[in-house]
A = this chain, B = another copy of it.
Amino acid sequence: MNLLASSHTRSEENYLKAIYAVSQKAKKGASTTAIAGRLQTKASSVTDMVKKLSEKGLVDHRPYHGVRLTDQGRKVATQIIRRHRLWETFLVNHLNYRWDEVHELAEQLEHIRSHDLTDRLDTFMDHPKFDPHGDPIPDRNGHFADNGGAMPLSQVPKDTLVHIVGVRDSSPAFLKLLDGLSLKIGTQLTIMRRFEFDNSAEVSTRFNSAMLLNERVCENLTVKVL
């Protein structure tokens, strides 16, 4: 029954995405509590939904060891991420939104149910590989583009020329900080000095005079060596 239509509720989709994200980050099954934390719900609600998803064959659950997506569940989650990132890209590139404004809208748009809207959007934008935050957009088969050796700025050695390719934290607060410092995707920079005291780094760009970036900022900026 309904093996074809592949139609899940908005809530189910959000849980699948949350389970994907949580187990991605921790590299293990997602705990009931962690899922609840991510979705701002209560653990008891998660228990109910996990049971439902489990019966649908979308997740495997071993209590106290975490929830994992099945292949089918991962496929669904990946498609939702694809839609989310394609919409973010559309909003920034074509409707002139700023990169710190699009997430909430994409949270809604990603649930639009259509067999081919996603693919048409993808074609319209000429198959973008990364979203406005530098996150890879999976293709229609769920394959993520390789980030080609990107690393957090915190791991880059001194005196190496790099350019920004993405952010690990794409909260409006962080993105606004970056905007305030004129740091955006593509910006080239070099680490001039590191301070052992707090792991902060002094960086120079083409335009700005040197600026001091604290550890947390460095960890959340993804760069590539040029």
Q: Do residues B105 and A120 form an inter-chain contact, with CB atoms below 8 A?
A: no
Q: Does the CB pair B95–A121 fall under 8 Å?
A: yes
For residue A124, which residue of chain B has the nearest CB? B95
Q: Which of these, B95, B96, B97, B109, contacts A112 with CB under 8 Å?
A: B109
A94 at the interface (CB under 8 A from B): yes
Number of copies: 2
A87-116 at interface with B (beta carbon < 8 Å): 94-97, 105, 108-109, 112-114
Is B108 a contact of A113 with CB atoms below 8 Å?
yes
B95, B108, B109, B121: the one within 8 Å of A120 (CB): B95
Binding site for B on A (CB under 8 A): 94-97, 105, 108-109, 112-114, 117, 120-121, 124
Contact sample, A vs B, 14 pairs, CB 8 Å cutoff: A94-B124, A95-B117, A95-B120, A95-B121, A95-B124, A96-B120, A97-B120, A105-B112, A105-B114, A105-B117, A108-B112, A108-B113, A108-B114, A109-B112
